[in-house]
Amino acid sequence: MMKQQRTLNKKIHFKGIGLHTGYSVNLALVPAPPDTGIRFRRTDLKNFEIEAIRSHVAKVSYATTLMKKGVMISTVEHLLSALYGLDIDNLYLDIDSMEVPILDGSGMSFTEEMRNAGVTEQDALRKYLKVEKPIEVRQGDKVAGVYPDSTRKVTYIIDFEHKAIGHQEIHMELNPETYQREIGKARTFGFVSDVEYLKSLGLIRGGSVDNAIVLDESGIVENNLRYPDEFVRHKLLDLLGDISRTGYPIIGHLCAERAGHAIHTALADRIARQTEHYRICTMDDIESPLANAV
């Protein structure tokens, strides 16, 4: 696990459309000083800043939206997931519209460009959220939780009636290499049967088979899977984006079953409230003999 805070070596750019708005958007990832955190800057609104933190979550229906003083940034989960997965602590996200570009529906372009740009270790210690007692949210058969563990582990389980999905599970230790290889390329997915309803809500105006896996009754429409279990990998990608808003990388076992953005966000809220179940510490704190003394 990383001891120092990290940012990018240089500025990188993306251009695309918003999944739900269909608007053209430009996005730049800009290196930031230690202890800045992850901050969006609306360049079309005099660089108005919206910190990517739990208290700014406004909506979690079909995507995650941040809002501060009436200014919004939507569909942030794929980008925030890539930053969390690659252990990037400090960055300005300069954007000229209200929605992060969907690109190919995964985090692949973000991870590839960030790895190409390179990462700088900064002169400040990285702080972790080390889980010491379980924290859990349950809603019927849906659950999300974090549990004590000495490493950074993740588990996701889904169970869909659709024959192309069915029951899928993924279990892994999380680090930048496993994230890029096993999670970052997994695309969002949706069902033809939901398209008209979503359009009636003013959503998925920019959606297509170029930026999502689309399924009808017979199977996958005009596409091929990148992984046999791409669907559960994308749900894990979303979870990491949503849980990143706790503000700290988590040392522990992060798990979810049959969950989604609403329960991911409810878990982040519960973590913020149950402060007696974890401690905020650096790797030096963890490795200190006094920290491990009985």
Give the chain's domains with CATH numbers.
4-287 (3.30.1700.10)
Going by C-alpha positions, the residue among 151, 125, 145 that lies closest to residue 251 is: 151
Point out the residues that are catalytic.
261
- Tell me: the pLDDT tens digits for 205-250? 788 888 999 999 889 998 899 999 999 999 999 999 999 999 999 9
Please list the alpha-helical segments (H only) found in the chain: 77-85, 108-117, 176-178, 192-200, 230-243, 261-273, 283-287
Residues 27, 93: contact at Cβ < 8 Å? yes
pLDDT of residue 294: 44
25 alpha-carbon distance from chain centroid: 20
- Tell me: the pLDDT tens digits for 254-279? 999 999 999 999 999 999 999 999 99
pTM summary value:
0.94
Going by C-alpha positions, the residue among 121, 102, 99, 147 that lies closest to residue 1 is: 121
pLDDT of residue 219: 92
CA–CA separation, 276 and 120 (whole Å): 33
pLDDT of residue 153: 98
pLDDT of residue 158: 98
**CA quadruple 112, 113, 117, 118: dihedral positive or negative?**
negative
| Helix 230-243 vs helix 77-85: crossing angle, to nearest 10 | 90
Stretches where the chain sits below pLDDT 50 are 294
| Helix 230-243 vs helix 261-273: crossing angle, to nearest 10 | 30
| DSSP reduced 3-state for 56 | helix
pLDDT of residue 209: 83
